[in-house]
Structure 1
Amino acid sequence: MTAHAELLGRLLPPLSYDPKAPGLAADLRAEGNALDRALADADVIANGVVPSFLAAQFLPDWERVCGLVPAADATIQQRMSAVIAKINEIGGLSIAYFKQLAASLGYTIEIVEPQPFRVDSSRVGDTLYIEDIIFVWQVVVEGAPNLSYYFRVGQSAVGERLLSFSDPVLEQVFNDLKPAHTFVFFSYQG
């Protein structure tokens, strides 16, 4: 008998019912199995409430609530990291805000804003950019600790790559939060 089936059998009056009788034992086993499944599902649901214990089956719900659309080849780890980053974000458009956001994800970054060539402020040898370069910015990620995601049993799914480089989580968070009229590109160093 299952754990709950045995408990249900103990609840019966001892002289009136025999829990080992074939018909009653089948009923107790069926009800006990249902209670065992309910208890197991309750633990999964309790873990799905907090993103740090995120159950993979609730990941699509968290992404929907956070307004995230994962890349087709994103791993479960990357998708969970994106959900946690989205929940932790506080909002802002300054360089300091984006640096703080990257630091919360474990990165040290610099943001480079290329400037167009201007008379009286630019010099010989400076790069000649078009006027619209003011809408482009570069994120230089230095010494990124999480540049690679390894396939891990229990955290990855069938069909995911064994190893992926760069950080789609960082890139997705920045692309979601950047001003809509700008373009951001990433440069990973060392």
Structure 2
Amino acid sequence: MTALYSVDDYAAALGALMPRGRVWPTDPGSTQAYVRHALARSMERLDGDAIALLADIFPPSSVDLLPEWEDTLGLPDPCLGPNPTIQQRQQQVTARFVGNGGQSAAWYIAFAALLGFVIEITEYGPFRVGAGRCGTPLAGEPWIFTWLVTVVSGDSSAAAAAFRAGISRAGNPLSSAASGRAALECELRRIAPGHTNILFAA
């Protein structure tokens, strides 16, 4: 990440703070000027690190602080498998952090979107004379608590699980054995109300 101020900016600022006098030379070739320049390099590096840290605070782009986010949210867990990629971990952290506290179909659709999926939800109910139409499945009372999840797009088992330059880092796997769809199913089953039954379309 690029620092806000350059080495020369910091060196000039340090020079302006130096006391005046014969023992405090200001010419560029003096030993003190070289020392100020060396200190300025450290300041520039810290400046860049601080900017990078601010960018790293947000879960969707977090890398250095990702373990802290996971620890705060009770992760890792079995949903992503034994060796998830950075991208999968970022998506899971974002979904756990942002997607909290709903039970409507729209809320589950939004939650799946945080994991990189577009889904549709079909809710079922028992057939009732006067309300049901020709072609409506005949179902009993237990179907009130059943819903079907259809993945429209975003089966990221290959895309999000792959190593990506600029995001992944040395030491990360080139790909993950964990299926993105399996992670989606695991996450939805985890947050679904206990009395409901989720079906996933093939």
Q: Which stretches in structure 2 are left out of the alignment for 5+ residues?
A: 1-5, 125-144
The structure 2 residue matched to 1:156, chosen from 148, 156, 168, is 168
> Could you say which residue in structure 1 is the equivalent of 2:36?
28
Tell me how far apart the structure 2 counterparts of residues 90 and 84 of structure 1 sit (CA, whole Å). Answer: 10
2:133 is the alignment partner of 1:85 = no
Percent same amino acid among aligned pairs? 27
Tell me how far apart the structure 1 counterparts of residues 102 and 175 of structure 2 sit (CA, whole Å). Answer: 35
Tell me how far apart the structure 1 counterparts of residues 167 and 183 of structure 2 sit (CA, whole Å). Answer: 16
> Could you say which residue in structure 2 is the equivalent of 1:108?
119
The structure 2 residue matched to 1:12, chosen from 12, 18, 21, is 18
> Could you say which residue in structure 1 is the equivalent of 2:134?
none
Structure 2 SS opposite 1:108: strand
Task: Please give the TM-score of this superposition, normalised by the length of structure 1.
Answer: 0.64
Tell me how far apart the structure 2 counterparts of residues 73 and 108 of structure 1 sit (CA, whole Å). Answer: 25
Q: CA deviation at 1:83?
A: 1.5
The 1:163/1:63 distance shift into structure 2, 3 A limit, reads closer
Q: CA RMSD in A?
A: 3.9
- 1:64-123 CA-partner distances (Å, limit 9, x unpaired): 22222154311111111112212221323455542343245441234688xxxxxxxxxx
Task: Please give the TM-score of this superposition, normalised by the length of structure 2.
Answer: 0.61
Structure 2 SS opposite 1:153: coil
Tell me how far apart the structure 2 counterparts of residues 93 and 58 of structure 1 sit (CA, whole Å). Answer: 30
Equivalent pair of 2:70/2:93 in contact (CA under 8 Å)? yes
2:156 is the alignment partner of 1:143 = no
- 1:117-153 CA-partner distances (Å, limit 9, x unpaired): xxxxxxxxxxxxxxxxxx9976432333645323211
Equivalent pair of 2:122/2:148 in contact (CA under 8 Å)? yes
Tell me how far apart the structure 1 counterparts of residues 109 and 62 of structure 2 sit (CA, whole Å). Answer: 29
Higher strand share: 1
Q: CA deviation at 1:171?
A: 3.6
Count, aligned residues: 170
Q: Which stretches in structure 1 are left out of the alignment for 5+ residues?
A: 114-134
